Amino acid sequence: MSIFVIGDTHLSFSCDKPMDVFGGWQDYVSRLEKNWNAVVTDADTVVIPGDISWAMSLQEAERDFAFLHSLPGKKLIMKGNHDYWWTTKRKMDKFLEEKGFDSLQILHNNAYRVGDFTLCGSRGWFYDAQTGNDKKVIAREAGRIEMSLNEAEKLGGEVICFLHYPPVMNGIKCEEIMDVLVKHGVKRCFFGHLHGNFSSFINNAVVEGVKFSLISADFLEFCPKLVEKI
């Protein structure tokens, strides 16, 4: 039994959003499927921290969810900035249940215990946000992260946090989110969202005792990253 992570799958089986127009994304779905099947088993858990599907509704996302469901392992799916299909957890849980996608579970204001580890997190927001509206979103996201961490601590085990947005970048920190991570003693945090010139991105850097790792699908060359072998 192992824990894996991969973000930003950007699936588009039901809409015209081909990611392979971008460098490095050629044949990405088949590459993802092949690599996933090579490393993940049905006993494993894979966290997908956002930007899962380009769909605009749950109904439109059905084929993307069906693809993920066909892959081995349990998948914990989170919200990214492009997940326009995202709605209330109750509605998403009901939709997944009705469609028989029982290998997919929503990670949102909650946490999951896997072996000796507890998985939690939220979308986050821009690390350098300055506007009043952005600050409101950051406050809300910091609250969601804290809620998820509180649920994780109830379950026990070593906490591992997942975010969509990086809370640190270019020497700038999102203080509100960093304060929550440090307060709860988080030691490992995985994030996606970033694409392109990876040499300029924070990866495997330790900030205030938290190790941050980039897990965008293209950065991982479309192969889920092993977080922990249990």
User: Which sequence spans correspond to the domains of the chain?
Assistant: 2-229
Mean pLDDT (the chain) is 94
Coil/strand/helix, residue 9: coil
Q: What's the whole-model pTM score?
A: 0.95
**Spatial distance between the Cα atoms of 167 and 127, rounded to a whole number of angstroms:** 5
**Spatial distance between the Cα atoms of 199 and 194, rounded to a whole number of angstroms:** 11
Domain over 2-229 is classified CATH 2.60.40.3140:
no
Question: Would you say residue 91 has pLDDT above 90?
Answer: yes
**Spatial distance between the Cα atoms of 82 and 144, rounded to a whole number of angstroms:** 18
Q: What is the pLDDT confidence band of residue 186, given thresholds at 50, 70 and 90?
A: very high
**Spatial distance between the Cα atoms of 60 and 54, rounded to a whole number of angstroms:** 9
Once rounded to an integer, what is the mean pLDDT over residues 211-227?
A: 96
Question: Would you say residue 212 has pLDDT above 70?
Answer: yes
Return the closest-CA partner of residue 121 out of 140, 145, 154. 145
Cα dist from 59 to 12, 33, 51, 92, 105, whole Å = 13, 22, 16, 11, 17
Q: What is the pLDDT confidence band of residue 21, given thresholds at 50, 70 and 90?
A: confident
pLDDT 10s digits, 143-165: 999 999 999 999 999 999 999 99
Angle of helix 132-155 versus helix 175-183 axis, rounded to 10: 10
